[in-house]
Copies of this chain bind each other. A is one copy, B any other.
Amino acid sequence: MNTRMADHVREALEQMIITGEFADGERLDEIRLAERFNVSRTPLREAFQVLAASGLVELLPRRGAFVRHPAFHEMIEMFEVMAEMEAFCGRLAARRVTPEVLAEIRATVIACEAAVEAGDTDGYYRENERFHHLIYTASGNEFLAGEAQRLHRRLQPFRRMQLRVRGRMAQSLTEHRQILDALEAGDSVTAEAVLRDHVAVQGSKFNDLIASYKQSNLRAKPQPVAMRG
């Protein structure tokens, strides 16, 4: 357990930002937040530094901390990178995955099947997270796994939007099974290709994403180019 207030505050703010509690460009008021979390400004400002490092807020010197939601094109860019990272994980995993991790992956696919049959979206979401996390681990490259997990986390809210689309869960499951098969067969080419398509935003997924992005409160407000970094 971590006893540092700064860490606690960082986690809380991170969650608040990711769940869209602040509008894009909104200033994080040190004094109000300090009161709200019952801490002084010192740990709060330490939290700001970390949030800025992960890109969730932008620190303008002598102006303050401003929350920064990705513009639509930035989100597309992030998904493009995510797809490639997962594809790479899959390629490595097909060669390196251990029997233990493979067994765990198999278990999540079975759990996903159950969730789809039960129409349990939350359950599916949870198992889906576990599936992807395991793919990262299976790559046998801890650094890669860490980076993939970091980006995955960043995209969490947008992925959640996506899963709500009708029929998306069933299609996702089919792909999970294909990936599992490829890993079991040691087929790195298929594992890579299916994972890339699984994550990439293309075809009808693109239009679905536009729709959910517009509805969400994680939109970036359109701004003159000059104001953006």
Residues of A within 8 A of B (CB): 2-4, 6-7, 42, 45-46, 49-50, 52-54, 61-62, 74, 77-78, 80-81, 84, 88, 141-144, 147
Contacts and interface: CB of A to CB of B under 8 A. Distances in A.
A144 B73 CA distance: 12
A136 to B, nearest CB: 12
Contacts of A52: 50
Nearest to A3: B61
A144 B61 contact: no
Nearest to A146: B55
A196 B53 CA distance: 28
19 contacts: A2-B61, A3-B61, A3-B62, A4-B61, A7-B61, A42-B42, A45-B46, A46-B46, A46-B49, A49-B49, A50-B53, A74-B142, A77-B142, A77-B144, A78-B143, A80-B141, A81-B141, A81-B143, A81-B144
